[in-house]
Chains A and B, each alone.
Chain A
């Protein structure tokens, strides 16, 4: 009775990752861009858990999810500190005003 095809989860993961990429490209606010990265990492986590369930046996996939969550937390801390620094220097969160390295 308790049966959902794994491919459903994989398709949802693909859609969420695509929406994350879309948000990353079209959003202009630095903090929202960080949120798009978090969304992509979440989509990858879902794919990891789904593949782990499909494989059965040892739960190596969960360990990878664990590490992804740790790295995402570290990335959020550093990224938001950078956002604070950018606002102090530029008085704006718009990524198009942070174009010093733009060719």
Chain B
């Protein structure tokens, strides 16, 4: 076991535990904290894959901004413990088997994914990956990048319109 492999197993385990905790904890605020654990663990895995910039964005945008928004709304709405209802038995009795089946099937097909026969995280080619990313983003993908700003503007206006009080 080399150090990267140990790190992978530690943080992969943390991610899976966090996801399971998110399902089994009943307070929304506890679920949110478990999800933050998953996101931080994923950021470390991005580092292991050599994606430093994505890891930084993951911490800043996901674990920072998005999850703060979630926690803020949970506090604002005073969301307490999830109530158990019996309105939809279908989700309970069909959801678990189908979800587990889907997971097993996804794992099966991912194991057969054509990634080039046992490809591994061999040392990266020399160069500056973040520079390559910015070159791609501002040259090949410039138009989608600009469209994204309009998407964010629409989301901003939509959130304002939805959340404002009726006057």
Binding site for B on A (CB under 8 A): 1-23, 25-29, 31-32, 34-36, 38-39, 42, 45-47, 49-56, 58-60, 62-63, 65-67, 69-78, 80-85, 87, 93-94, 96, 99
Q: Which of B70, B82, B118 contacts A28 (CB 8 A)?
A: B82
Asked whether, in the complex, the Cβ of A31 is within 8 Å of the Cβ of B103, the reply is no
**Chain B residues, Cβ within 8 Å of A5:** 118-120
Asked whether, in the complex, the Cβ of A22 is within 8 Å of the Cβ of B77, the reply is no
Within 8 A of A (CB), among B57-114: 57-58, 61-62, 65-66, 69-70, 73-74, 76-77, 79, 82-85, 87-88, 91-92, 95-96, 98-100, 102-104, 106-107, 109-111, 113
Binding site for A on B (CB under 8 A): 2, 4-5, 8, 12, 15-16, 19-20, 22-23, 28, 31-32, 35, 38-39, 42, 45-46, 48-51, 53-54, 57-58, 61-62, 65-66, 69-70, 73-74, 76-77, 79, 82-85, 87-88, 91-92, 95-96, 98-100, 102-104, 106-107, 109-111, 113, 115-116, 118-123, 125, 129, 132-133, 136-137, 140-141, 144, 148, 151-152, 154-156, 158-160, 162-163
- For the complex, what is the distance from the CA of A81 to the CA of B165, rounded to whole Å? 11
Q: A62 to nearest B CB, angstroms?
A: 5
Asked whether, in the complex, the Cβ of B162 is within 8 Å of the Cβ of A63, the reply is no
Q: Which of B28, B96, B163 contacts A29 (CB 8 A)?
A: B28
**Chain A residues, Cβ within 8 Å of B31:** 27, 29, 32, 35
- For the complex, what is the distance from the CA of A49 to the CA of B98, rounded to whole Å? 27
**Chain A residues, Cβ within 8 Å of B160:** 81
Q: 9 A-B contacts, Cβ less than 8 Å apart?
A: A19-B103, A25-B95, A28-B83, A49-B49, A62-B51, A62-B136, A70-B152, A81-B163, A99-B87
Asked whether, in the complex, the Cβ of B115 is within 8 Å of the Cβ of A12, the reply is no
Asked whether, in the complex, the Cβ of A60 is within 8 Å of the Cβ of B163, the reply is no
Q: Which residue of B lies closest to A3 (CB)?
A: B120
Asked whether, in the complex, the Cβ of B65 is within 8 Å of the Cβ of A73, the reply is yes
Q: Which of B35, B88, B111, B144 contacts A39 (CB 8 A)?
A: B35
- Other 6 A-B pairs with CB < 8 A, given A2-B2, A25-B98, A93-B77: A62-B133, A63-B133, A65-B51, A67-B148, A74-B151, A81-B160
